[in-house]
């Protein structure tokens, strides 16, 4: 008898759902990141492109068929392992694992990065170092912490961990590749202090073994700030005792070059071990590296404190902090800004690149392969400046003028910060009856100027007799000498505040301000940049947030009543020396980063007219520096002009500090207010946010008058110390 035909509905139900359920797009990205995988690795496993995976994680597209099932299986497996606190699969590629030695098999359990917090949740004991015979150890109970267990692990020299909280400033799941944070401060007893109170045991007794330990054991580093950027290399900061232990001298004999000689034993030992140094050699900030293997960088940065790695002009007293406090400070800087890569000026410039990398992966239409291509909105390659934008040493200037030629305003762009004093003869009787000189200073003035500023991205284009366009970045040859302004205010068109004497080169923001003031402009010629964009926006936002977060920790927050704000500012530098040092570094990162856009040649061997190394980087852009400084100066003038409309005129201006005469010793005694008690719109406003002002200092009228009579700037000394006048 023939069997009954199967019910087609039952057959469909028994086949199960055809469309596999997937997590939401944001959860897909979170699972991958928490597991330490890249989009490229998932793409390779599923035999799709990295862009396809990026589309899945962004919700722009969905996988289908067998690919969807495989992707769902992968995400389900990742979620299960993360929830159980288990280590990633032994088959995970070793290329993304900084703890794996070159050539170490990916199946070696010791090569797999394990989130320490997850391992502890699963009941695993923390790893501990097996002390070597030549590595002295300090008291393991340092800082009130219990001694670390000293259990050897799988035959490898392991990292001892006394306490592993989440790195400071990290409020999400830590990247398992960098579970111990971005950096460590190494002391002479082998204790390496990290973020959040972490202490590692470092057995290294020389630089090569320190580099090996950092790359294979320490699990230090930080994830990239932009998906097309690079992960931050681990940083190890050497105290004086650590430097001595590693065989480094207490100070550098080469005070000009600031580096060890090539034949120094430490340098020779590094070379013999197969490591390399950058062209700058071994100085206060040194990079020790090998060529990348399998796409994995092998680079460690060292900062040598006794050689002045943390300049007191930028970092305040940070170098004198105890190692744990210094680690806390540097880790906060790394979390809020980026892992330090040199001076604060260097870090400011590197932050621009980290947030807007010059390249991104693009598909070659001819071969279908993924290659490196320019990243829209970024500075993608070095470009020579227009002749007026170039400093005197630049080859484009040498080609136009003989050596020693003093360029005139119609030959050079002179966009610098204010340094102006009022003629004492212009002081009124009313002003001379006021007993105080009070200075107000704009917070983060150059950062505020960079916000929403359109700057050139590509090469300059020379045009004759152009119509002015305020939306077009560049420099313009314009005669603004006929504009008549109140002599009790500095001219907005010159750094010295005097009236221009004829045609001169100006950046776009300066000419745009002349138009804003109601004046017709007729450029004679210009160098403009048709390719442009808000390149510095992300840079401003990150530094603004870092500044406000640090000020908040020091007790100064946005929205405070003026009296509370002034009181908080009076005491904020006495609350936490480590946070004060961090604040100083963040401010210096802004000024130094802008200044570094026009880095001048360095070294005694340089000859004018020759190129120098800085010219070969995309971020050597004097035109962008000029645009930022011009905007800051114009912003300053706009506020002073608003106060002048109610009869208040400064007696001195230096960069972002203006000094006014006052009946009382504080800013509220002279700043104008509306009838309902609010600050005058468009004028200076007290507060912590970038662009608002704080009290810079107060002196007597007689003190200020004497300085004016002698031709000195009271704004430079109103605080009781000298102030920097520009962005470099």
Question: Which domains does the chain possess?
Answer: 16-84 (1.10.260), 94-131+143-342 (no CATH)
The reported pLDDT for the residue numbered 50 is 75
Output the CA–CA distances (angstroms, integers) from residue 668 to 213, 556, 651, 715, in the order listed: 57, 18, 17, 18
Residue 382 DSSP code: -
pLDDT band at 726 (very low <50, low <70, confident <90, very high): very low
Q: What is residue 334's DSSP assignment?
A: H
Burial of 331 (0-12, 13-18, 19+ CB in 10 A): buried
Extract the tokens encoding 308: 């002045």
Evaluate if residue 656 carries a pLDDT over 70: yes
220: three-class secondary structure by DSSP: coil
Whole-angstrom distance, CA of residue 719 vs CA of residue 580: 17
Neighbours of 298 (CB within 10 A): 18
For the chain, state the CA radius of gyration: 30
Regarding beta strands 532-533 and 370-374, do their DSSP bridges make them parallel or antiparallel, or are they unpaired? Answer: unpaired
Chain segment 620-645, per-residue pLDDT in tens: 999 999 999 999 999 999 999 999 99
Q: How far is CA 253 from the centre of its chain?
A: 31
Q: Is the dihedral of CA 447, 451, 457, 459 positive or negative?
A: negative
What number is the average pLDDT over the span 18-31?
81
Higher pLDDT, 125 or 254: 254
The predicted-structure confidence for 363-419, as pLDDT tens digits, reads as follows: 889 898 999 999 999 999 999 999 999 999 999 999 999 988 999 999 999 999 999
> Tokens 């936490």 label which residue?
576
Per-residue CA distances from 257 to 244, 350, 443, 604, 620 (Å): 21, 22, 35, 9, 22
d(CA 264, CA 266) in angstroms, rounded, equals 6
Query: Using N-to-C axis directions, what is the helix angle for 344-355 and 577-596, rounded to 10°?
Result: 70
Structure pTM? 0.78
Reported confidence tier of residue 711, pLDDT bands at 50, 70, 90: very high
Q: Quick: pLDDT tens for 213-253.
A: 999 999 999 999 999 999 999 999 999 999 999 999 999 98
**Cβ-proximal residues to 149 (8 Å cutoff; 6+ apart), any chain:** 125, 126, 128, 160
Q: What is d(CA 309, CA 399) in angstroms, rounded to the nearest whole number?
A: 38
CA nearest to 637, candidates 521, 519, 515, 493:
493
Query: So what's the pLDDT on residue 52?
Result: 83
Q: Do strands 285-293 and 276-277 pair parallel, antiparallel, or not at all (unpaired)? A: antiparallel
Give the full edge-to-edge strand order of the sheet including 503-507: 461-464, 525-528, 474-479, 503-507
296: burial class by Cβ within 10 Å (0-12, 13-18, 19+)? middle
């Amino acid at each position: 008898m023939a069997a009954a035909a199967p019910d087609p509905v039952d057959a469909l139900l028994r086949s199960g759902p055809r469309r596999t359920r997937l997590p939401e797009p944001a959860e897909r990205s979170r699972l991958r990141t928490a597991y330490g995988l890249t989009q490229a690795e998932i793409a390779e496993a599923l035999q799709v492109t990295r862009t396809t995976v990026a589309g899945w994680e962004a919700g722009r597209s969905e996988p289908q068929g067998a690919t969807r099932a495989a992707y769902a299986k992968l995400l389900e497996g990742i979620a299960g392992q993360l929830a159980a606190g288990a280590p990633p699969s032994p088959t995970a590629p070793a290329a993304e694992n900084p703890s794996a030695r070159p050539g170490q098999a990916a199946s070696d359990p010791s090569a797999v990065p394990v989130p320490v917090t997850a391992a502890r949740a699963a009941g695993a004991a923390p790893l501990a170092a097996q002390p070597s015979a030549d590595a002295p150890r300090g008291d393991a109970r340092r800082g009130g912490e219990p001694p670390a267990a000293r259990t050897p692990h799988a035959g490898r020299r392991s990292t001892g961990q006394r306490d592993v909280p989440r790195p400071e400033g990290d409020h999400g799941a830590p990247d398992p590749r960098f579970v111990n944070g971005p950096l460590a401060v190494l002391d002479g007893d082998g204790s390496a202090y990290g973020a959040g109170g972490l202490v590692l045991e470092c057995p290294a007794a020389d630089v090569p073994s320190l580099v090996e330990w950092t790359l294979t054991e320490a699990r230090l580093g930080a994830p990239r700030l932009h998906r097309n950027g690079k992960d931050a290399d681990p940083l190890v900061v050497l105290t004086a005792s650590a430097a001595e232990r590693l065989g480094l001298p207490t100070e550098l004999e080469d005070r000009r070059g600031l580096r060890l000689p090539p034949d120094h034993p430490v340098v020779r030992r590094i070379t013999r071990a197969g490591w390399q140094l950058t062209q700058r050699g071994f100085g206060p900030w040194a990079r020790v590296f090998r060529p990348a293997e399998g796409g994995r960088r092998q680079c460690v940065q060292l900062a040598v404190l006794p050689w002045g790695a943390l300049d007191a002009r930028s970092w305040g007293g940070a170098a004198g902090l105890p190692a744990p406090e210094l680690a806390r400070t540097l880790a906060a800087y790394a979390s809020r800004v980026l892992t330090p890569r040199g001076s604060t000026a260097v870090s400011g410039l590197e932050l621009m690149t980290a947030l807007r990398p010059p390249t991104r992966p693009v598909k070659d239409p001819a071969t279908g392969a993924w290659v490196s291509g320019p990243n829209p909105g970024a500075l993608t390659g070095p470009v020579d400046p227009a002749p007026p934008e170039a400093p005197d040493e630049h080859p484009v200037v040498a080609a136009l003028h003989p050596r020693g030629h003093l360029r005139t305003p119609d030959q050079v762009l002179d966009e610098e910060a204010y340094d102006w004093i009022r003629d004492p003869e212009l002081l009124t009787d009313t002003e001379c009856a006021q007993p105080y000189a009070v200075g107000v200073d704009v917070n983060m003035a150059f950062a505020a100027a960079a916000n929403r500023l359109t700057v050139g991205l590509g090469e300059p284009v020379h045009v004759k007799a152009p119509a002015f366009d305020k939306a077009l970045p560049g420099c313009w040859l314009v005669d603004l000498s006929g504009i008549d302004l109140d002599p009790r205010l500095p001219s907005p068109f010159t750094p010295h505040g005097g009236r221009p004497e004829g045609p001169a080169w100006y950046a776009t923001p300066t000419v745009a301000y002349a138009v804003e003031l109601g004046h017709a402009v007729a450029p004679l010629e210009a160098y403009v940049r048709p390719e442009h964009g808000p390149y510095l926006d992300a840079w401003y936002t990150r530094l603004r947030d870092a500044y406000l977060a640090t000020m908040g920790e020091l007790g100064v927050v946005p929205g405070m009543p003026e009296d509370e704000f002034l009181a908080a500012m009076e005491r904020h530098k006495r609350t936490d020396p480590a946070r004060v040092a961090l604040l100083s570094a963040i401010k210096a990162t802004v000024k130094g980063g802008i200044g570094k856009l026009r880095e001048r040649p360095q070294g005694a061997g340089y000859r004018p007219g020759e190129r120098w190394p800085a010219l070969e980087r995309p971020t050597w852009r004097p035109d962008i520096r000029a645009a930022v400084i011009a905007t800051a100066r114009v912003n300053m003038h706009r506020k002073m002009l608003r106060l002048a409309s109610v009869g208040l005129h400064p007696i001195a201006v230096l960069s972002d500090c203006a000094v006014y005469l006052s009946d009382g010793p504080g800013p509220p005694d002279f700043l104008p207010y509306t009838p309902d008690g609010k600050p005058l719109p468009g004028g200076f406003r007290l507060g912590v946010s970038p662009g608002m002002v704080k009290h810079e200092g107060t002196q007597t009228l007689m003190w200020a008058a004497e300085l004016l009579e002698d031709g000195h700037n009271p704004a430079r000394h109103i605080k009781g110390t000298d102030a920097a006048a520009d962005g470099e």
